[in-house]
Structure 1
Amino acid sequence: MDYINIAGLKKPCAQLMMGTDYYKPELLDTVGDILDAYMALGGNAVDSAYIYGGGKSEETIGLWMESRKNRKEVLVLTKGAHHNAQGPRVNKQAIDEELAISLQRLRTDYVDLYALHRDDPNVPVGPIIEALNEHIEAGRIHAIGVSNWTHGRIQEANDYAAAHGLVGFTFSSPNLSLAKPNEPFWAGCVSADSDACAWHKEKQLPLLSWSSQARGFFTGLFTPEVRDNADLVRVFYSDDNWERYRRAESLGKEMGVSTIQIALAYVLNQPFPTCALIGPKNVAELNSCHDATRIRLTEEQLSWLDLSAALKAI
């Protein structure tokens, strides 16, 4: 397992992070075995959120950590301040209330990484940074970041933090995958485009990618003619993405690995620190992801895969 450093954490973070959005207590035996296998491979980070499963995801992680007595070995990322039926909730009250509930569910008194799940561009960055810093000072959060914020807003927030002697965001969690979305999978979601990736390269700010494998686009289960998954068709079906698929398939055959492993390696081999959030349903899928961490791709191969370089032999 490879690792990256995230400012604020007390140890490096595994590049493969376990996504847990489908976890619930009644699945504890099954997902517990997968998490145990993940830890045995050197993994150490789990991703959750206040809204996942109505809180069931956080509850399940808490039960697993309690049963294994491994809280100190696990880096927990959870997210809060997602909008609800009444609208955006990126404010101090929502952060304070939801973090307190998340800690109860997780059966812990701190989270290693805390991210704002959505942005509200109408809210000034200053009060947000100040609210999060209160929790850092109290020891309830070790590192703060964002999910689905533009890099411009992150820079604005970090400029404010630097000017006021506060801790800024030390990671971002947008979507990044070899398949480029035609539109957001969910309203308000952000994918890292070429400008965002250039900014991450310049700043070397860690990027933790959700839907890092494009929700199964590269599994081989889909073709341009198979259109029964309306969301996948809407978001990822395009001529350019099918060309990226063909290139990943070709390079995979050349390297003796699968197409989806090439797609995952694309995320892990960026010229800035990255983690890939994965959601294996069994140990075999976990092992496939782990094998992909051993693939090394050159800058030329990355550019060729994502069509930013001309088609040529590599």
Structure 2
Amino acid sequence: MRYKVLQDTDLKVSDVCLGTVKYGVEMAEKQAGEQLERFLDLGGNFIDTAHVYGDWTPGERAKSEHVIGRWLKRSGRRGDIIISTKGCHPAMEATSVPRVTPECIVEDLDESLQALQTEYVDLYFLHRDDVTVPVAELLGTLEEQRRRGKIRWYGCSNWTLSRLTEADECAKAQGIPGFVCNQLMWSLAAINREGVPDRTLVLMDDDTWQYHRRTGKSAMAYTSMAQGYLSKRIRGEEIGPQLRVQYENEQNEQILRLLKDWGLPVSELSLAYLMRQAFPTVPIVTFRTEEQLQEGMRSADMTVPAELMEALDIIKEYGNGQK
């Protein structure tokens, strides 16, 4: 396993971040605990969750956080793990109503700490944005929570580039760290914007990639495996209608031809491509089986030829391939 330090932090994280969105919903608590133990045994130390994960099903709220919290209490391994969680997502019963306010930050963070059974979160994200709320108010609240020791560092998820740069300028003017990481939708497979039903999700694009390259700001990529689209295409499996809407395009046809020419394991390469960016990038990966977990962890040690990286960047139009 390889590790990297997220820029402007003391967080040394594994190249793979374990996604836990299925915990307590599609993955039973016992299996989730076993997966967490196995992930640590294989060298992983970075997990990602959110206060809203699991709220789309009846019963306990914040299911993923609670499952992780109970495991932390049983295992006593809080010191072995770096926890990323997110707050201020709209409530499931009112998804069109923003909850990105100073009050919601404090409320969600306190509830997350209680669910996770920990005194602090290593990396705390605002899960969404509300452009009607001044950036300074949000940063001020996050910074206050950092100074109180409830969070070590903070970042943003699904923020537009214009708001992200506004936040950078505000943090610089106030002399505070500001957002140290940006979490967004990104994979080796090119995504069709019109195929993503949730318009509040923010995708990696050329301008954002150039911003990260210029500033060195760390990124975390969710939906990093594109729901297995490239692997399924290589294996000749049937592609469902939603995947076709999201990922059928000429860029992906070019990527598939390139992958066939190189003959490298597609799943591992998809993650290794993200890990080998010009700025610290960590893919968030959800594993259903032990085989998938092993495969994902192997990707951290995979060497991606520079020629292949350049060819992929040209196809994906990141600065027209010019690094």
CA-based RMSD of the aligned residues comes to 2.0
For the pair 1:234 / 2:245, whether they are aligned, the reply is yes
Q: Which residue identity is paired with 1:206?
A: S
Determine the structure 2 residue equivalent to 1:32.
33
Q: Deviations over 1:42-64 (max 9, x none)?
A: 11111000110021000011111
Using the size of structure 1 for normalisation, the TM-score is 0.91
For the pair 1:23 / 2:35, whether they are aligned, the reply is no
* Contact 1:9–1:112 (Cα < 8 Å) also in 2: no
Give 1:287 deviation, angstroms: 0.9
* Contact 2:129–2:158 (Cα < 8 Å) also in 1: yes
* Contact 2:7–2:216 (Cα < 8 Å) also in 1: no
Map 1:149-298 to 2 at 5 A.
149-183=159-193, 184=196, 186-220=198-232, 226-227=238-239, 229-251=240-262, 253=263, 257-298=264-305
Give 1:224 deviation, angstroms: 9.0
Give 1:245 deviation, angstroms: 2.2
Q: Which residue identity is paired with 2:277?
A: Q
Q: Deviations over 1:99-122 (max 9, x none)?
A: 111111101111000001111222
Residue aligned with 1:296, SS: coil
Q: Determine the C-alpha separation between the residues in 1 that align with 2:237 and 2:113.
A: 46
Equivalent of 2:308 in 297, 301, 309: 301
Q: Which residue identity is paired with 1:176?
A: W
Determine the structure 2 residue equivalent to 1:99.
109
Give 1:7 deviation, angstroms: 5.0
Give 1:6 deviation, angstroms: 2.3
Give 1:182 deviation, angstroms: 0.7
Give 1:80 deviation, angstroms: 0.7
Using the size of structure 2 for normalisation, the TM-score is 0.88
Residue aligned with 2:28, SS: helix
Q: Determine the C-alpha separation between the residues in 2 that align with 1:126 and 1:265.
A: 36
Give 1:220 deviation, angstroms: 2.1
Please identify, of 140-149 and 230-239, the stretch whose mean Cα deviation from structure 2 is larger.
Answer: 230-239
* Contact 1:8–1:142 (Cα < 8 Å) also in 2: no
Q: Determine the C-alpha separation between the residues in 2 that align with 1:285 and 1:156.
A: 39
Q: Which residue identity is paired with 2:38?
A: A
Determine the structure 2 residue equivalent to 1:111.
121
Give 1:223 deviation, angstroms: 8.1
Give 1:222 deviation, angstroms: 7.6
* Contact 2:232–2:238 (Cα < 8 Å) also in 1: no
Q: Determine the C-alpha separation between the residues in 2 that align with 1:280 and 1:191.
A: 22
* Contact 1:176–1:212 (Cα < 8 Å) also in 2: yes
Q: Determine the C-alpha separation between the residues in 2 that align with 1:206 and 1:9.
A: 10
Residue aligned with 1:79, SS: strand
After superposition, the Cα gap between the structure-2 partners of 1:225 and 1:238, relative to the gap in structure 1 and judged at 3 Å, is farther
Structure 2 gaps of 5+ residues are 56-61, 318-323
Residue aligned with 2:231, SS: coil
Structure 1 gaps of 5+ residues are 310-314
Residue aligned with 1:187, SS: coil
For the pair 1:72 / 2:79, whether they are aligned, the reply is yes
Q: Which residue identity is paired with 2:31?
A: T
Q: Determine the C-alpha separation between the residues in 2 that align with 1:30 and 1:71.
A: 19
Give 1:4 deviation, angstroms: 1.7
Q: Deviations over 1:186-219 (max 9, x none)?
A: 2211111121111111111111100111111122
Q: Determine the C-alpha separation between the residues in 1 that align with 2:307 and 2:161.
A: 25
Count of equivalent residues: 304
Q: Deviations over 1:141-194 (max 9, x none)?
A: 101001111233222112111111222100011112111111235221111112
